Amino acid sequence: MQAMPEKDAAKYRFDVFDITKVWPHKDYPLIPVGKITLNRNPTNYHAETEQSAFAPSHLVPGIEPSNDKMLQGRLLNYPDTHRHRLGPNYEQIPINCPYRARMGSYNIRDGPMTVKGNGDKYPANYEPNSFANAPKEDKSFKWSPVQVSGAVGRYPHQHPNDNYEQPRALFNNVFTE
């Protein structure tokens, strides 16, 4: 992955959220963050592959999404697509269920394609409710506020982007005869 401090993003030479741009590795080198090992083929292709549901909104606590417009759209639309494709209880399907997760209070209860019953003894997934162990909002997981300056709206692209710098570097420095 690449990481850029927020203070650098505001003054970088091009819009860092422009999906047609690549952050040069000399400015922001790649940072190894992990390794995935594929150690077997699926035994049941439908159960282990066709029903898998990946979404950028499944974030580890403490990790927040950036203001990238494409990412913001995907945060909403990927889970919505999974609900349409696999049903409202897609997170109960074993391939999508967090490791060793129990039926928690935030899953969809009942309805089509439910896999783990109706939630048993767990309280309903709304706040406030009358259950003793009812879910409560944990403000420690609140996302950081975003600083915005100027008017937000639809405007012609005015950022001082050099739309030819990166294709030129690719052609001159990467491609060969």
Q: How far is CA 74 from the centre of its chain?
A: 7
Q: Is the pLDDT assigned to residue 102 strictly greater than 60?
A: no
Position 105 confidence tier, pLDDT thresholds 50, 70, 90: very low
Share of the chain above pLDDT 70, in %: 81
Question: Domain residues of the chain, as ranges?
Answer: 1-33, 65-99
Q: What is the pLDDT of residue 40?
A: 92
The Cβ-side half-sphere exposure at 61, using a 13 Å CA radius, reads 5
What percentage of the chain has pLDDT greater than the value 90?
A: 26
| Model pLDDT, residue 109 | 64
Residue closest to 162 by CA, chosen among 48, 65, 57, 20: 20
Predicted confidence (pLDDT) per residue in 144-163, tens digit: 888 777 877 777 766 666 77
In the predicted structure, residue 85 carries a pLDDT above the cut 80 = yes
* Position 42 pLDDT exceeds 60: yes
User: What pLDDT, on a 0 to 100 scale, did the predictor assign at position 121?
Assistant: 65
Q: Looking at residues 50-68, what average pLDDT do you find?
A: 86
Tokens standing for 173?
A: 């420095």
Q: How far apart are CA 167 and CA 14, in angstroms?
A: 14
pTM comes to 0.64
Q: What's the pLDDT score for residue 116?
A: 64
Q: Who has greater pLDDT, 125 or 140?
A: 140
103: alpha, beta or left? (left if phi > 0; alpha if psi -120 to 50)? beta
